Amino acid sequence: MPAQQQSAQPTHPFTCNTCQVAFRSSELQRSHMQTDWHRYNLKRRVASLPPLSSEIFAEKVLATKASAAATAARASFEKPCAVCQKTYYSENAYNNHLNSQKHKVNVMRAQKAAPSTIRDDETASLLSSAFSMGEPIVESGSKDAVDVEAEAEFSHVVDGIKNASLEEKEPVSRRPTRPHHSTMEDDDATSTASTSKYNTNPKLNCLFCNFASPTFPLNVQHMGRFHGMFIPEQDYLVDAEGLVTYLWNKINELHECLYCGKAVHTTPGIQTHMRDRGHCMIAFESEAELVEIGQFYDFSSTYSDAEDDDDD
């Protein structure tokens, strides 16, 4: 035994081999045996694990308490939907419910029974949902600068929510296996009418909620601010309006999700899918996705130097 440990033995004759600590008196040793630290190290010893020091154990306790407090804060969320007579205990589930087709249909039916009262409640719910999404983080130096166009566009959104009238959509009938020519024409006419009903201008209408902006830049700003849509590689984008128009056609004509490629029968159906699944984004990862929208970009500046070297 080292000389230092031999000299410390008389002053600390009582030890705990599990926690590898020593005590001056038997009372301190017995008190230690009752602590959570000692019990925790006993469990680690059974599992053939080394003991933890008191400092590391204290950090683990604090981290566990912080996690429990965060869980309790999320669990305390409670918000009812008076129209659907349901209560939600998750903010994400509540926001998804507000954007669901079933909720909108129930709102429309309730408005017919009591238009003024329900419309005020629904406007408040939609506004609360919009504000709960949060605002993008900006630098402190730019907080004092007011974006006049953005504020005007946001006020336009609020007015649109207040004046919006939700209509019940008729179910899509199944097309026969071998339809007659007249049936195909009727389906095409219905599809065209449905498309024009929700979006009439690809450059001014939101891809995900049909909100109409006064200008194309404000439309792009709206989609990024309220739906989180980000246009990739903007430094090399040469035809922004063409790109948005192409995406508009995928949603309104093919009824196809921009991110996962899922296809449904209606435009509102695919819009609801993208909002609920968080798919309000442009797929830009695989080679096939890059080629699909590559016509709207110009990356020649990235490989011009290599071409010059080849020419030399």
**Phi first, then psi: what are they for 14, rounded to 5°?**
-105, 125
Kindly state whether residues 301 and 207 are assigned to the same domain: yes
First and final C-alpha spacing in the chain: 77
Residue 35 lies in a domain: yes
Torsional class of 20: left (φ above 0), alpha (ψ -120 to 50), beta (otherwise): left
Residue 186 lies in a domain: no
Kindly state whether residues 49 and 75 are assigned to the same domain: no
Q: Among the three residues 130, 151, 173, which one is the final residue of a domain in this structure?
A: 130
Name the residue with tokens 């590689």: 233
Tens of pLDDT, residue by residue over 194-235, are 444 444 788 888 989 988 889 999 989 999 888 888 888 888
For residue 246, the model assigns a pLDDT of: 92
Please count the structural domains in the chain. 3
Residue 91 lies in a domain: yes
Q: For the chain, what is the largest distance between any 2 Cα atoms, rounded to a whole number of angstroms?
A: 104
Tell me the pLDDT band of 24, cut-offs 50, 70 and 90: confident
The β-bridge partners of 21 are: 16
Q: Tell me which of 179 and 220 has the higher pLDDT.
A: 220
Kindly state whether residues 83 and 51 are assigned to the same domain: no
Instruction: Answer yes or no: are the C-beta atoms of 194 and 266 closer than 8 Å.
Output: yes
Percent of the chain with pLDDT over 70: 65
Residue 289 lies in a domain: yes
Q: Specify the long-range contacts of residues 227-233, CB closer than 8 Å, at least 24 apart.
A: 227/275, 227/280, 228/278, 228/280, 228/281, 229/280, 229/281, 229/282, 230/281, 230/282, 231/282, 232/282, 232/284, 233/284, 233/297
Kindly state whether residues 37 and 120 are assigned to the same domain: no
Kindly state whether residues 207 and 254 are assigned to the same domain: yes
Residue 91 has pLDDT above 50, yes or no: yes
Kindly state whether residues 204 and 237 are assigned to the same domain: yes
The angle at the Cα of 278, spanning 272 to 280, to the nearest 5 degrees, equals 75
- The boundaries of the domain holding residue 117 are 70-130
3-class DSSP assignment, residue 269: helix
The angle at the Cα of 50, spanning 47 to 55, to the nearest 5 degrees, equals 125
| CA atoms of 189 and 234, how far apart (whole Å) | 37
Residue 152 lies in a domain: no
Tens of pLDDT, residue by residue over 254-264, are 999 988 888 99
In this predicted structure, which of 75-84, 174-183, 216-225, 288-297 has the lowest mean pLDDT? Answer: 174-183
Instruction: Answer yes or no: are the C-beta atoms of 98 and 105 closer than 8 Å.
Output: no
Kindly state whether residues 204 and 308 are assigned to the same domain: yes
Kindly state whether residues 214 and 289 are assigned to the same domain: yes
Kindly state whether residues 226 and 291 are assigned to the same domain: yes
The β-bridge partners of 88 are: 79
H-helix or E-strand spanning residue 125? helix 115-132
Kindly state whether residues 104 and 37 are assigned to the same domain: no
Q: Is 32 exposed, middle or buried (0-12, 13-18, 19+ CB in 10 A)?
A: middle
For residue 148, the model assigns a pLDDT of: 57
Residue 274 has pLDDT above 60, yes or no: yes
Kindly state whether residues 7 and 92 are assigned to the same domain: no
For residue 231, the model assigns a pLDDT of: 87
